Amino acid sequence: MKTPNPKPAPAKTPAAKIEYRQLSTLKKLPNNPRTLKDDAFKKLCASIKDNADYFEARPLILSDRTGELIILAGNMRFEAAKYNGLKEAPTILLRGLSEEKEREIVVRDNVSSGQFDWDILSSEAWGTDMQLAAWDVPLPMVYNSEGFGEDFTLASGDRAPFQQMTFTLADEQAERIKGAIANVRVQQGTECGNENGNGNKLHQIVLEWAEQKK
């Protein structure tokens, strides 16, 4: 009996390589479901600045399905790299992806699997609770007193003689006020030591209003 020919093994796609690409050639993912709050974004910027090697080990993942280089994974790192003044970033281009596969990569990249072994993590080799907290490790509610101290500093003296005021305006009102601020000229000697241009202009408008009321 003739044995059928075995199916040929599928050809392996060559492993995608890390390539540094100009940030200006990359496009952020439209409708990205991930967001990052301000303080977390600042931390990411600092992390990328301080750990360039780690950035290379976790490159941005790109797709060229639409003809543009769209970032599937690493949109926040892309923003942070731009914020840090970088011109290029490590990337991996995945070719021939379907739209569905792209969506899967986007979501999978942000799902955290695995968990910390707290016994190992709390050993001295991994640093103090203070260090781990600074690295955004979601520590459990058990902290030992080692690594914490009794010293701190607090601001002293009187407050600075400046203050910020916040108002709520309708869009139309806001535009009118912006227009007035843009057109008013600050009279020298009315600044009261304030170096904030818009503050001085708003004050000038009030001065002129008060003059008219006389």
**Whole-Å CA distances, 155 to 152, 159, 160, 175, 205:** 10, 9, 11, 38, 34
Taking the complex as a whole, the smallest distance from the CB of residue 207 to other proteins amounts, in Å, to 25
Over the window 138 to 177, marking each residue x when it contacts other proteins by CB under 8 A and - when it does not, the resulting string is: -x-xxxxxx-xxxxxxxxxxxx------x-xxx-------
In this chain, which of 46, 52, 107, 130 binds other proteins, going by CB under 8 A?
130
Backbone angle region of 85, left / alpha / beta, with phi > 0 → left and psi within -120 to 50 → alpha = left
How many whole angstroms separate alpha carbon 135 and alpha carbon 43? 9
Taking the complex as a whole, the smallest distance from the CB of residue 176 to other proteins amounts, in Å, to 15
Q: Toward other proteins, which CB reaches closer, 133 or 207?
A: 133
Taking the complex as a whole, the smallest distance from the CB of residue 152 to other proteins amounts, in Å, to 5
Strand order in the sheet with 26-27: 19-22, 88-94, 60-63, 69-73, 26-27
Q: Indicate whether 35 belongs to the interface with other proteins (CB under 8 A).
A: no
**Whole-Å CA distances, 83 to 36, 45, 86, 113, 147:** 14, 7, 8, 29, 33
Taking the complex as a whole, the smallest distance from the CB of residue 166 to other proteins amounts, in Å, to 8
Taking the complex as a whole, the smallest distance from the CB of residue 162 to other proteins amounts, in Å, to 12
Q: Which stretch binds other proteins (CB under 8 A): 47-55, 65-73, 131-139, 202-210?
A: 131-139
Question: Applying CB under 8 A, which residues contact other proteins?
Answer: 129-130, 133-134, 139, 141-146, 148-159, 166, 168-170
